[in-house]
A = this chain, B = another copy of it.
Amino acid sequence: MKKPIGIIDSGVGGLTVAKEVMRQLPNETIYYVGDTARCPYGPRSSEEVARFTWDMTEYLIQYDIKMLIIACNTATAVVLNEIKETLSIPVLGVILPGARAALKHSHSGKIGVLGTVGTIRSNAYSKALKSINQDVKVSALACPKFVPLVESGEYEGDFARRIVSKTLQQMKADRLDTLILGCTHYPLLEPIIQEVIGAEVKVISSGEETAREASTILDYNESLAVGDHTPHHRFFTTGSSKIFAQLASKWLQQDHLIVETIDL
């Protein structure tokens, strides 16, 4: 089915999900909305996060999308269930795919979660993990300094390494075997996070896992785009289309992206 997959995020972080969907499902067309002007969502109230997420959802619905991916952990924690119950198309968040992948990889049952203040405060990962296996031990850590590092493009180098190292210090005593990056911005910091936490810990990126589940659900609903299509992705931002295009081109390693500024 040639209809687009809609992906929404508070900013550019959800591009890590978009990139994985493009890699794992190269026939699919993506329509992406990044609410860059109102990013970050992490410190906002639940009411605001819900309202902003609905704004993006309603914007994409007009394009007859066949699936909606809420590529923002904060928004998933707050409003996934409500949107899922309202729309007739499949709606995926990023929390359960990350949780399921962690349960698949973890043998010791000691699982760490990194996220924004909003995501960690919501306890969404712990609830998701324990709803499937009540015996796991979850260590959750809010990392409020990580999103600004990524949005500002400073996710490589010594400054980022110092911040990550200091933030994860207390987690190293927990002897985790699996660590979930519970924010779609964090995969940009993954090389540093892996280095700091140690090679023996399996680091799970919710982006990769959500792309995989999108494929499972589209296949289950018989609505995968099969055969040789050339997808025409579109990107919408509430902020500067120029800055968005620069970041997106670098991350997705694609030139000539179509980026449009919209009002929500």
Tell me the A residues contacting B by CB distance below 8 Å.
24-27, 90, 96-97, 100-101, 103-104, 131-135, 208, 211-213, 215-217, 219-220, 224, 226-228
Q: Do A212 and B104 touch across chains, with their CB atoms under 8 A apart?
A: yes
Binding site of A, secondary structure by majority: helix, strand, loop or mixed?
helix
Contact A24–B104 (Cβ < 8 Å): yes
With A24-B104, A132-B226, A134-B228 known as contacts, the answer to whether A213 contacts B216 (CB < 8 A) is: yes
Quick check: A24 and B100 within 8 Å, CB to CB? yes
**Candidates B100, B103, B215; contact of A132 at CB < 8 Å:** B215
Could you say which residues of chain B place their CB within 8 Å of the CB of A216? 97, 100, 213, 216-217
Q: How far is the CA of A17 from the CA of B213 in the complex (A)?
A: 19
How far, in whole Å, are A214 and B133 apart by their CA atoms in the complex?
A: 15
Residue of B at shortest CB range from A215? Answer: B100
CB distance from A126 to the nearest CB of B (A): 14
In the complex, are the beta carbons of A104 and B211 less than 8 A apart?
yes
CA distance A96 to B213 in the complex (A): 12
- What's the nearest-Cβ distance from chain B to residue A68, in Å? 13
Give the number of times this chain occurs in the complex, counting copies.
Answer: 2
Residue among A100, A133, A135, A211 with the most chain B CB within 10 A?
Answer: A100
> Considering the complex of A and B, which 3 residue pairs feature the smallest CB-CB distances, nearest first?
A131-B226, A216-B216, A213-B216
Which residues on the B side are within 8 Å of A213 (C-beta)?
Answer: 216
Residues of B within 8 A of A131 (CB): 224, 226-227
Given A131-B226, A220-B90, A224-B132, residue A212 in contact with residue B26 (CB < 8 A):
no
Chain B proximity of A50: nearest CB distance (Å): 21
Compute how far the CA of A24 lies from the CA of B90 in the bound complex, rounded to whole angstroms: 23
In the complex, the answer to whether A212 meets B101 with C-beta atoms within 8 Å is yes
Whether A217 contacts B215 by the Cβ 8 Å rule is no
Residue in B133, B211, B215, B219 whose beta carbon sits within 8 Å of that of A26 in the complex: B133
Name the B residues within 8 Å of A211 (CB-CB). Answer: 104
Return chain B residues, CB-CB under 8 Å to A224: 131-132
Whole-angstrom CA separation of A103 from B216 in the bound complex = 12
Residue of B nearest to A96 (CB): B219
Q: How far is the CB of A224 from chain B (nearest CB, A)?
A: 7
> Pick the contact of A135 from B26, B90, B103, B132 — CB < 8 Å?
B26
Q: Nearest chain B CB to A108's CB is how many angstroms away?
A: 12
**Chain B: minimal CB distance from A207 (Å):** 11
Question: Can you sample 30 A-B contacts with CB below 8 Å?
Answer: A24-B100, A24-B103, A24-B132, A24-B133, A25-B132, A25-B133, A26-B132, A26-B133, A26-B135, A27-B133, A90-B220, A97-B216, A100-B212, A100-B215, A100-B219, A101-B212, A103-B215, A104-B208, A104-B211, A131-B224, A131-B226, A132-B224, A132-B226, A134-B227, A134-B228, A216-B216, A216-B217, A217-B217, A217-B220, A220-B220
